[in-house]
Amino acid sequence: MKTVGLSAADAGAENRVGASVSDPEGLTRYEIRLGDGLAWLAARAANSVHAIVTDPPYGLKEYTEAEKRKLRRGRGGVWRIPPTLDGCRRSPLPRFTVLNAEDRGALIGFFEAFARAALPVVVPGGHVFIATNPLLSHLVYGALVEAGFEKRGEIIRLVQTLRGGDRPKNAHLEFVGVSVMPRSGWEPWGLFRKPCEGRVQDNLRKWKTGGLRRISSTEPFGDVIRSAPTGAAERRLAPHPSLKPQAFMRRIVHAALPLGEGIVLDPFMGAGSTIAACAALGYRAIGIELDPAYFAMAHGAIDALAHLRT
């Protein structure tokens, strides 16, 4: 059952609109809210989320109203709109190399605020999976460690992106043998954990967290995952510029709850690929999105994404 609407309890300026989907027994499977993920975390009860799986905005710049207007007009700004290649329309990419020192300071401040707000909400032993990129990951990781999360590794999503590989701009004929930066073939996801209470086994018993769910009894979760770019069928359902593919999201979301019990949060859910992956796996989930158009997209797309075969 799917319900959308305003309730008296939600009458504040933030998180006013929500939708929740229940299973046949009436248990809420997922809940999505229009609002600020940081404000939601600040208001949330302590120790009430078992994992965070998120792909946050970077530099905050690419999702400002001004930059989104430029993206939607198809020109200018931090979004690089690649030309149509071989009849294939490529997705726009944010150009992180245009961030200046002030932007980077704002980005560190944003991730510090996120990490400080997230730490009390996550249960002991709960993991955070956070998408990043090779140019900025150190800033994000530093903020999480500073707040008290333990770094537990990094997941390498092996995917061919359009980032890098280009010859020097306006001098490509002069420097035919030079790339300004490597052509990127991977996307890092930072993996963090709130410290456990006691041993992992004690924490697993008490909080249902502390480890990662294995793929099977003979195969542990691994940190290098081959992944195709998000396919056309998914992009048609949810045309968000940063939509992550279900095949990859289901792999990492599956690992996030070691016993398959608990709640997964995505405080920057975009069009809801994390929430759809949770729905596909039968995990409970909460998603928050600031932009009304992306929230509406998620609301319309999550069930369909969850039903896609990967």
The CA–CA distances, whole Å, from 49 to 86, 119, 258, 263, 309 equal 45, 10, 14, 5, 28
- Interaction between residue 242 and ligand SAM (CB under 6 A): yes
Q: How far is the CB of 44 from ligand SAM (least distance, A)?
A: 13
- Interaction between residue 209 and ligand SAM (CB under 6 A): no
Specify whether the CB–CB gap between 271 and 290 falls below 8 A.
no
C-beta closer to ligand SAM: residue 1 or 293: 293
Q: How does DSSP assign 238-270, residue by residue?
A: ---TTPPPHHHHHHHHHHHSTTS-SEEEETT-T
C-beta closer to ligand SAM: residue 38 or 278: 38
Helical H runs in the chain? Answer: 37-43, 65-73, 101-121, 137-147, 200-207, 232-237, 246-256, 273-281, 292-307
- Interaction between residue 57 and ligand SAM (CB under 6 A): yes
Radius of gyration of the chain (CA): 20
Among 14, 36, 112, 303, binds ligand SAM (CB under 6 A): 36
- Interaction between residue 132 and ligand SAM (CB under 6 A): no
Among 31, 67, 187, 289, binds ligand SAM (CB under 6 A): 289
- Interaction between residue 155 and ligand SAM (CB under 6 A): no
C-beta closer to ligand SAM: residue 60 or 156: 60
Distance CA(121)–CA(41), nearest Å, equals 7
Q: Looking at beta carbons, which residue is closest to ligand SAM?
A: 270
Specify whether the CB–CB gap between 134 and 188 falls below 8 A.
yes
Q: How far is the CB of 93 from ligand SAM (least distance, A)?
A: 11
Reported as half-sphere exposure (CB side, CA atoms, 13 A), residue 41 has a value of: 22
Q: Which two tokens stand for residue 114?
A: 């996120």
Q: How far is the CB of 84 from ligand SAM (least distance, A)?
A: 23
C-beta closer to ligand SAM: residue 209 or 274: 274
> Which residue stretch of 167-175, 208-216, 254-262, 269-277 sits at the interface with ligand SAM (rule: CB under 6 A)?
269-277
Specify whether the CB–CB gap between 158 and 224 falls below 8 A.
yes
C-beta closer to ligand SAM: residue 208 or 244: 244
How many residues does the structure list for the chain? 310
Among 273, 281, 285, 302, binds ligand SAM (CB under 6 A): 273
- Interaction between residue 67 and ligand SAM (CB under 6 A): no
Binding site residues, ligand SAM, CB under 6 A: 36-38, 55-57, 63, 240, 242-244, 267-268, 270-271, 273, 288-291, 294
